[in-house]
Amino acid sequence: MARRHHHTSGDWTSVAARLDEIVAASCGEHAFDALFQLVLGRLVAELDGDDAPLADLLARAQARWPSIEAGVVPLLDPATAVRCRAVLDGASLLESGLMGLDALFEGLNSRQSKGAKGQFFTPRHVVHQALAMLDPQPGESLCDPACGSGAFLVHACLQQPDARVVGVDLDPRAARTARVMLAALGRDPDAVQRADSLGSAEGEGTFDVVATNPPFAGDVADRYDGSFALAAGRRVERDVLFLERSLRLLKPGGRLAIVLPQNKLGAKRWAFVRRWLLCRMEPLAVVGLGRSTFLPHTSQKACLFVGRRRPEALAEPPPDERVLLFVSRRAGKDGAGRLLLRDTAADAPLWQAVDHDLAEATALLRAPATHPSATRRSLSELDAGFVLAPERYDPRRVLASTSSTRIGDVVEASRALYRPAEATRPVLVLDTTHALQGFVRLGHAPVAPTEVGSSKRQLQPGDLIVSRLRPYLQQIALVDAALFGRDPVGNDVACSTEFYVLRARGGSAAWLLPWLLGEAVQAALAAAQEGGHHPRVRLEALLDLPVPARLMAQREAVAAAVQAQVEGARAAGEGLAALAKQDWRRGGP
């Protein structure tokens, strides 16, 4: 049985959930359309200072803002409308910079309808800081070509009341919502157009500022063939098209802030996009947003790119230009997507109370200084392919050391694959769940070579396996000789290709194990993660870690101690497992 939602006045997430629950149980109309009318009526009542019947309030709204298309016939029956209006009592939609109205509309849009299109409400602290970086001036014009519910437009108006704003969105619900948000500020709701921004050249070269978080997903196929340089002869995703469209909308010298998935700024596949961008825009800053930023809707890793349009396109990016690369340590949300709040004035907008560090990136952009999560690189210092993902240059991944010896100097990364067709012995197959805190934990037996399945890496005694998926959870282990005797006739050992295999150039790599499990290395590997939904540590980041001279000098003694500890740990684990298999309900030893 579904659990009834309880709401708290002023907690707009709980209010939205309760309203949706009442409408879904009481009428057959779509919850959004019915509640849209309810919220719009409440807005008119607050603006006019009275509390007329819903039909009267809708008639006023239709007369005042025809483009909002609210309708004059309430979709809610009178009894349900009364229940819903009672939920809204006690709090104002207009307080704290429309925080209540904004949060309520976000809650009324279902997770499913947004996720299927890669469309997610941009957290308002991100919007606020993006606009702080752009710093709109009086009289300037700002456009959001994928405006959604109008967050960038509203915050631009709040930060710079004398700015002219224009929004475009293809989704009719989003456009209606953005129009209401502007109307609540006393701005012209017709500044929001319901249109396909990618299918039009209108407005190109006319805006001082563009701020947007375009949809990431969606297959546009060949709908825009010939319209975009970045799509010429190749399949690209919608965010790439919106990036080009955003740049075209700017005047020479105009500023852009755009949220993009991290792969567009870091993956080899999209290097052509970055080269094209850097030839046309001066990069000012790239901010790596925390992985929980868009939760609970998605864990997609994203970055905020801020730049200025060049007077004309260049043949090559200028090598001496420098860009601020900042890695956000505090996403403003916990792992479940709940806002992290700090103490603030009771009447301050919510986005000013969210615990994040993006304001520090804004300060660094305006007044260059040093910061533990930031670095400045010239374009010539970027990794091959003009990688702009800030995590690639995160200062936390670099260990302070006087040692000139790197892991890559003392071991090699073996890429040798296990070949079942050439094998005659059983094989013990290890996946990333079997390696933890230094040793291989076993609960399974070797299998026939024909049962191996997908590609695996061939292992030898003395190898170290390091999970590239979650090394910060200490999924690192020694491959000791005992693993090759799990079958009476002897067996091979192979592991998932999600492991890096470190193989000493002579002898065992066991002596590296305690150092790799140490706090300093684990913190560096955690900071070295890159990627979208499935972050990984690049091999180069691992091999480039400096090896302490003291450890180098004692490696034989350390290797022997590690071997003894690994054997003892596995024996203890298997002993406990054997005890757990006992049927303690019966007599006997």
328 and 244 in a common domain:
yes
411 and 389 in a common domain:
no
Q: Give the residues across from 256 on adjacent strands.
A: 210, 307
Structure tokens at 451: 């049962």
176 and 73 in a common domain:
no
Structure tokens at 251: 């005047």
562 and 449 in a common domain:
yes
Question: Which residues lie closer than 8 Å to 422 by C-beta, 6 or more apart?
Answer: none
**What's 319's domain CATH number?**
3.40.50.150
- Verdict on whether the full-model pTM lies above 0.85: yes
For the chain, the helix, strand and coil percentages under 3-state DSSP, each to the nearest 5? 40, 20, 40
316 and 211 in a common domain:
yes
Q: Please answer whether residues 545 and 466 qualify as being in contact, where contact means their C-beta atoms are separated by less than 8 angstroms.
A: no
User: Is residue 512 exposed (0-12), middle (13-18) or buried (19+ Cβ within 10 Å)?
Assistant: buried
Which of 393, 420, 437 lies at the terminal end of a domain, its last residue? 393
271 and 369 in a common domain:
yes
Cα→Cα distances 355→207, 270, 344, 360, 431, Å: 32, 32, 10, 12, 37
Low-confidence ranges of the chain (pLDDT < 70): 1-10, 27-30, 108-120, 217-221, 533, 587-589
- Residue 588 is predicted with a pLDDT of 56
Determine, yes or no, domain membership for 7: no
Determine, yes or no, domain membership for 261: yes
420 and 274 in a common domain:
no
Which of 58, 74, 97 lies at the terminal end of a domain, its last residue? 97
**From CA 357, how far away is CA 328, in angstroms rounded?**
6
Angle at which helix 124-134 crosses helix 151-159, to 10 degrees, equals 50
Question: Which residues lie closer than 8 Å to 565 by C-beta, 6 or more apart?
Answer: 438, 439
366 and 294 in a common domain:
yes
Identify the DSSP state of 333. B
Identify the DSSP state of 49. T
- Residue 567 is predicted with a pLDDT of 84
**How far does the chain reach from its first CA to its final CA, in angstroms?**
47
Q: What count of other Cβ atoms lies within 10 Å of the Cβ of residue 474?
A: 18
462 and 350 in a common domain:
no
Structure tokens at 118: 């890669």
- Residue 498 is predicted with a pLDDT of 95
Determine, yes or no, domain membership for 529: yes
Q: Number of structural domains, the chain?
A: 3
60 and 30 in a common domain:
yes
120 and 252 in a common domain:
yes
528 and 452 in a common domain:
yes
pLDDT tens-digit readout, 75-110: 888 888 888 888 888 778 887 778 888 877 877 665
- Residue 1 is predicted with a pLDDT of 36
Determine, yes or no, domain membership for 137: yes
- Residue 223 is predicted with a pLDDT of 80
Determine, yes or no, domain membership for 489: yes
Determine, yes or no, domain membership for 426: yes
Which of 51, 76, 97 lies at the terminal end of a domain, its last residue? 97
User: Which range marks the domain in which residue 33 is found?
Assistant: 12-97
Determine, yes or no, domain membership for 587: no
**From CA 127, how far away is CA 438, in angstroms rounded?**
43
Determine, yes or no, domain membership for 553: yes
